[in-house]
Structure 1
Amino acid sequence: MIKNIIFDFGDIFINLDKEGTYKAMAALGVSKITDEMIQVYQNYEKGLMTTDAFLNFFHEKFRIPKEKLIVAWNAVLLDFPRERLGFLKKLADSKKYRLFLLSNTNDLHIKWVQDSLGDEFYNDFKSSFEQFYLSHEINFRKPDAEIYKFVLNENNLIAEETLFVDDLKENTDSANTLGIKTWNLMPEEDDVTELFTKNEFF
């Protein structure tokens, strides 16, 4: 019996253009993504480096103005359909499940989200969750098993009573190894508002 639901953010609630940042960076002359760049990005997402240090890395390496770097970095982020917020608020109001957010994100992205959604929308979203876990604030990132263990332990959750919803299979596969039930939502086929019609757990 499911008692707890952990939701990802990107392509679950807010739509993403997963190639958006790559395309924007390519337009700025950065056509090759190196292992060093991936490591810097992952460190930033884990909160292991500041926004200034992150921007300085790319600015110094490619001589791209920081303002253009920020725009390119946020090109991955699109719209947040209001019906998804309505679904979430109704689910939260029912008090049938403990709800958690668990997102790989970073300071620049979350500031863009807050600015684009506005305070009322963003606060309605955030307050629907018992805990709102962002990777750069807790120093873990998916798909590392430690991040799921952290959420389970911090909230005294039983894995088998917990459903994790994420659009990336590597993330749901990792959670599965701990006994967590999962829904690998496919953005082109599924919508989070179909949670109860597309899962046999309920």
Structure 2
Amino acid sequence: MKIKNIVFDFGGVLVDWNPRYYFKEYFNDDEKMEYFLTEIAQTEWNEEQDRGRLLSEGTEIQVKKFPDWEKEIRAYYDNWTTMLRSDIPHNVEVLKKLGKTDYQLFGLTNWSEETFPYALENYDFFKLFDGKIVVSGTEKLIKPDPKIWHILLDRYKIHANETVFIDDNPKNIEMAKSLGFETVHVTPETDLEQELIDLGIKF
């Protein structure tokens, strides 16, 4: 089947987001920082905001659970923009090249509805998606729930077997494969352009 569509995840693929960019300096103690990020402000907690829970609600829930860490928990979303360090230039260049082709470009991201507008405003490359972006916080669903891929497919009338899905999370890659997508699992070492060429994408 000929590939017609290319779907990008954002965090870890096109943008470099990591809470350590703020908390490394805040704590000045790597061990304490890692404890905070694994035991207090866990990935699972942040994912609930990506699933659509209000940042304020998520913050209050965690402050009640861990009152001794109130200052740090409140600092998390207050300093969220510092955690969004930059784009990932080599992958953004691939996206820009694709923007000059006939492939349809889409975004499918786990991202809070409240913070995503900041990224849209501050990174021009998002314009290449022409608004064809499915945001977990808006849909109240997060990857790897298959329902969020079905929202993408149904909304834009595309087919999985004509689509490449690009993500840095192995669980999301496995789910996309099971749904019939071609996939590229991005790591820091990935040559994204070459991976897409290997799938038959023409630049």
Contact residue 163 and residue 181 of structure 2 kept, 8 A: yes
Which secondary structure does the structure 1 equivalent of 2:133 belong to? strand
Q: Secondary structure at the match of 1:11?
A: coil
- 2:87 aligned to 63, 76, 80, which one? 80
Cα deviation, residue 156, structure 1: 1.2
**TM-score, normalised via structure 1 length:** 0.76
Matches of 2:42 and 2:15, distance apart in 1? 25
> 1:129 maps to which residue?
129
In the alignment of these two chains, the number of paired residues is 191
Q: Show CA shifts across 1:4-58 (max 9, x none).
A: 0000101211124476688678449736527x966543321111x2111112223
- For 2:49 and 2:171, locate their aligned partners in 1 and report how far apart those are by CA, in whole Å: 20
SS of the counterpart of 2:36?
coil
- TM-score normalised by structure 2 residue count: 0.76
CA distance change for structure 1 residues 2 and 28 in 2, over 3 Å: closer, same or farther? closer
Q: CA RMSD in A?
A: 3.2
Q: CA deviation at 1:169?
A: 1.2
Structure 1 residues 65 and 17: CA distance shift in structure 2, 3 A: closer
Measure, in 1, the Cα distance between the counterparts of 2:14 and 2:191: 9
Whole-Å separation in 1 of the counterparts to 2:22 and 2:60: 17
Task: Tell me what 1:69 maps to.
Answer: 76
- Is residue 145–residue 174 contact of structure 1 (8 Å, CA) maintained in 2? yes
| Alignment partner of 1:200 is 2:199 | yes
Structure 1 pair 73–161 and aligned structure 2 pair: CA distance change class (3 A): same
Q: Supply the distance in 2 between the matched residues of 1:108 and 1:74 (Cα, whole angstroms).
A: 12
Q: Which residues of 2 match residues 100-179 of structure 1 at below 5 A?
A: 100-107=106-113, 109-110=115-116, 113=119, 119=121, 122=123, 124-130=124-130, 131-179=132-180
Return 5+ residue gaps in structure 1 as ranges. Answer: none
Structure 1's 145 and 18: CA in aligned 2 closer, same or farther, altered over 3 A? Answer: farther
**Higher mean displacement: 155-164 or 58-67:** 58-67
CA distance in 2, matches of 1:31, 1:3: 39
Can you give the 5+ residue segments of structure 2 that lack an aligned partner in the other structure? Answer: none
